[in-house]
Amino acid sequence: MVEIFLTLAKDHAITLVVAATVVCIVASWLFFDLFERVRGTVGLSRLQWLGFAALAGGLGVWTTHFIATLGYRPDFAFSFDPDMTAASALISVATVGLPAALTALTDRTWLKLLGGAVTGAGIVLMHVAGMAALTNCGVEQPAAGAVPIALASAALCALAMALPERTRPGIRIALAVAAVSLVHFGLIAGTAIVPVGSEPSGIDRSILGFLVGIVVICLALSAGALVTSSSKLAEQKQREALFSNALTNMSNGLLVIGAGGRIDLFNDRLVTLFDIRPEGVAIGMPWQRYLANLAERLGWNEARLGRVIDNHTQWFALDRTTYLEHALEDGRTISVSCRPIMGGGAVLTYDDVTAERQAQREVERLAFHDPLTGLPNRRKFAQELEAAYEGRRAATLFLIDLDRFKIVNDTLGHAAGDWLLTECGVRMGRVCERGELVARLAGDEFAVLSLSCDEEEAAGLSRRIIATLSDPFLIHGRMVSVGCSIGMASTRDAASADVMIQHADLALYKAKTLGRGRNQRYEAGMQEAAMRRSVLEADLRGALERGEFTLLYQPLYRIEDRSVLGFEALIRWQHPARGFISPGEFIPVAEETGLIREIGLWIVEEACRHVRQWPDGIHVAVNVSPVQLRSEGFPGEVARLLEAAGVSPDRLEIELTETALVEDSELIAASLRTLRDSGIRVAMDDFGTGYSSLAHLRKFDLDCIKIDLSFVQTAPFDPAAAAVLHAVVQLARGLGVGTVGEGVETEEQFEVLRQAGCEVAQGYLLGRPMTAMQAYALCRAETRQNVRRALARRSAVAAV
């Protein structure tokens, strides 16, 4: 072996051997680069690259062989047969370059192995042909040695071609160079060169060298060109890889339609988005066919498909992007954008926006609905009202306020309150049969919007709402009744939605002041009244400090002997600008604002101050509003004032209306009990105007009832009123409760009361409200008269 190497080294010019090796490496690199291009292209360009690869491979081996031959036995003046030399080049291309290049066309390993093996054998064939081109010497090559070399060459080349694609190119190049070197040097080593003839014939070494040089230069230039284009190719490949990566991983479906109306590009997302069958979309497919396939997939009928195709045709012709959303039968929403391309075609992107739209809808729902009842909220209601105005539609607005909701919330807890509100919403929805909008505006405030201005219809609906909300609710086994008040306004009376809401608000306020459970339509003048009220409210705030209030006293007479028994304190407000203002006007305002608490204590204080100056048996009756009785410290405050004035509690009477007694009855009953326990007397005022329930008489432990003037004044000519008056007096007597007849203006009325058995009378006939001084004077006069009467009686007895 060592001997073989030594001989080879001796027989070869080492520089040319190195040059041959370099050429072989470069040619192999060139071949494998071209080989990759064959794999990466299709059609004609693939054929071209195949030809280049075959040439590079074949000529590379040929050149390597001849450079090495040029360096072989420099002592010999070889000459070469030009035909055979050319033929050896062709053989090399045909048996080495071509079979190797052809393996690029297959993915089958056995074919690659076969191609490689043929290539390996081709190298041997080329070598033999090359050696046969030597003209002035005989070449003796032992055939036996050639066989294992051919087999080894075939094996190396087969391996080089069949290695997996990801194998580094250097390994293949090394295998190829190894095969070429093995064949050349292996066969040369066993070859005997015998000179024949003295004159060399054919082309000599220098000419061959020149030819080989040209081929080498060609190969080198090709290699250089390829190096540049390879880096471009690599860049392009990288870009393509990036592009394809981006395309595959895009969240949108993509479809590119070329100028010819055929599909140029689409991505995987498009396929998964619509679950299209593999044959449903393809490069080169006309876009109409793709839409037809989509229609089949999504279950569209012919008509819908036609519409979709027409739409697409229109969008492609526009010079701007079209956006739209498709609601699919499976519940998904797909957003489509179609961007036409200059010169024809379009880029379509598809996006599944189902989640976004759902989230959007949810946000809208939350923004426009009340989370507790699920009803539209104030914002939504205002929007609908505005829409009615914008559309110039007639509408009626019902503002609904629950009457006794706060009590439920306070006594049964917030969970019960929440349930009640929800249930109210459900009940209202049930009675709004014409699709009226029911909304919850805030707390226990609801609203209904009906698209009609018909007054009868509106009255009917409001009655139905009141009725349904007045039906008791069963909460935790307890029957609870709330009821509601309604204020109504219509678009006819209001120029804008805001004004209409104001109107309904005013009407609601009126409904509440008239007593709950009512409906009230807005009437002209309410606005002005409200204005007046708010001015009144402002004036009322400083009236007490400014000393604008006074108390007048109206006497109460025993019917039996027409003697004064006490006085009812009646407040008067002397307004600096408006003059006298009736308590009927300002007391309700004072009650609403809570000012009544302060004013009420002043009344008690003032009444105590006066009653102290009157004769002992004379008492004072003070009107008290439910607001005062509901405030916790009231009984204690009254006791303190009585004590401070040094007035015995039995000289004070509290007057309270029946309606006031019924509201918040537990709280008020407790307050009244404390007052009564301290010795203060309690009278029920205006009996006959409210519930007129005798049950209340029992429940509240009253001392006296004041029969309203409407009964007293009608009794003389209305037998029914007289009968009621009789019955009430008798029943009261049965319960041990005293009776006062109010508003007595005539002797007949006085007489009716007397006959009915009523004990006390009050009215203009007997005495108008008077100042404390006048009351005092009246008491003094009474006393003098009594003394006179007593003296007269005594002298009459003496005379007898």
Catalytically active residues are 742
Size of the site for Ca ion (CB under 5 A): 5
> 568 near 767, Cβ under 8 Å?
no
CB under 5 to 8 A by kind: which of ligand C2E, Ca ion, none does 451 bind? Answer: none
- The Cα–Cα gap between 783 and 761 comes to 19
By CB under 5 A, tell whether 485 contacts Ca ion. no
CB under 5 to 8 A by kind: which of ligand C2E, Ca ion, none does 298 bind? Answer: none
> 96 near 120, Cβ under 8 Å?
no
Restricted to residues 668-707, the positions that interact with Ca ion (CB under 5 A) are 685-686
CB under 5 to 8 A by kind: which of ligand C2E, Ca ion, none does 582 bind? Answer: ligand C2E
Residue 197: left if φ>0, alpha if ψ -120 to 50, beta else—which one?
A: left
In this structure, what token pair is assigned to residue 756? 């009915």
DSSP letters for 408-426: HHHHH-HHHHHHHHHHHHH
CB of 626 to ligand C2E, least distance (A): 9
CB under 5 to 8 A by kind: which of Ca ion, ligand C2E, none does 639 bind? Answer: none
Per-residue mark of binding to Ca ion, 465-484 (x: CB under 5 A) = --------------------
- The Cα–Cα gap between 64 and 70 comes to 10
Residue 374, SS3?
Answer: coil
Q: Nearest CA to 712 among 759, 746, 737?
A: 746
Judged by CB under 5 A, which of 436, 591, 655, 782 binds Ca ion? 655
Cβ nearer to Ca ion, comparing 635 with 769: 769
CB of 513 to Ca ion, least distance (A): 18
Residues 6+ apart with CB under 8 A from 377: 368, 369, 370, 439, 440, 441
User: Which stretch, 225-233, 594-602, 617-625, 781-789, contacts Ca ion (CB under 5 A)?
Assistant: 617-625
3-class secondary structure per residue, 16-64: HHHHHHHHHHHHHHHHHHHHHHHHHCCHHHHHHHHHHHHHHHHHHHHHH
CB of 705 to Ca ion, least distance (A): 10
By CB under 5 A, tell whether 623 contacts Ca ion. yes
Residue 648, SS3?
Answer: coil
Cβ nearer to ligand C2E, comparing 405 with 557: 557
CB under 5 to 8 A by kind: which of Ca ion, ligand C2E, none does 309 bind? Answer: none
Cβ nearer to ligand C2E, comparing 503 with 619: 619
Cβ nearer to ligand C2E, comparing 406 with 572: 572
CB of 704 to Ca ion, least distance (A): 11
CB under 5 to 8 A by kind: which of Ca ion, ligand C2E, none does 308 bind? Answer: none
Strands 79-80, 192-195: pairing is unpaired
User: Which stretch, 12-20, 256-264, 268-276, 620-628, contacts Ca ion (CB under 5 A)?
Assistant: 620-628
CB of 794 to ligand C2E, least distance (A): 36
Residues that bind ligand C2E (CB under 6 A): 554, 569-571, 582-584, 587, 603, 623-625, 655, 685-686, 709, 743-745, 762-764, 769
CB under 5 to 8 A by kind: which of ligand C2E, Ca ion, none does 691 bind? Answer: none
- The Cα–Cα gap between 354 and 332 comes to 5
CB of 767 to ligand C2E, least distance (A): 9
Cβ nearer to ligand C2E, comparing 582 with 785: 582
Residues 6+ apart with CB under 8 A from 661: 626, 668, 684, 696, 700
CB under 5 to 8 A by kind: which of Ca ion, ligand C2E, none does 372 bind? Answer: none
Contacts by 600-606, CB closer than 8 A, 24 or more apart: 600/624, 600/625, 600/628, 600/634, 601/637, 601/641, 602/544, 602/549, 603/551, 603/569, 603/571, 604/637, 604/638, 604/641, 604/652, 605/641, 605/644, 605/645, 606/551, 606/569
CB under 5 to 8 A by kind: which of Ca ion, ligand C2E, none does 459 bind? Answer: none
How many Cβ atoms sit within 10 Å of the Cβ of residue 112? 22
CB of 679 to ligand C2E, least distance (A): 21
How many Cβ atoms sit within 10 Å of the Cβ of residue 481? 13
By CB under 5 A, tell whether 444 contacts Ca ion. no
CB of 482 to Ca ion, least distance (A): 29
Per-residue mark of binding to Ca ion, 109-138 (x: CB under 5 A) = ------------------------------
> 146 near 187, Cβ under 8 Å?
yes
3-class secondary structure per residue, 571-616: EEEEECCCEEECHHHHHHHHHHHCHHHHHHHHHHHHHHHHHCCCCC
> 434 near 454, Cβ under 8 Å?
no
CB of 666 to ligand C2E, least distance (A): 21
By CB under 5 A, tell whether 658 contacts Ca ion. no
Cβ nearer to Ca ion, comparing 183 with 709: 709
In the chain, the amino acid numbered 608 is: C
CB of 706 to Ca ion, least distance (A): 5
Cβ nearer to ligand C2E, comparing 66 with 750: 750
Q: Nearest CA to 384 among 400, 395, 370?
A: 395
> 379 near 497, Cβ under 8 Å?
no
Angle ∠(286,288,294) on CA atoms, nearest 5: 110
Cβ nearer to ligand C2E, comparing 487 with 769: 769
Strands 253-257, 263-266: pairing is antiparallel
Q: Where are the beta strands (DSSP E) in 145-240?
A: 192-195, 203-204
Cβ nearer to ligand C2E, comparing 477 with 584: 584
Restricted to residues 735-754, the positions that interact with Ca ion (CB under 5 A) are 742
Cβ nearer to Ca ion, comparing 485 with 657: 657
* Residues making contact with Ca ion (CB under 5 A): 623, 655, 685-686, 742
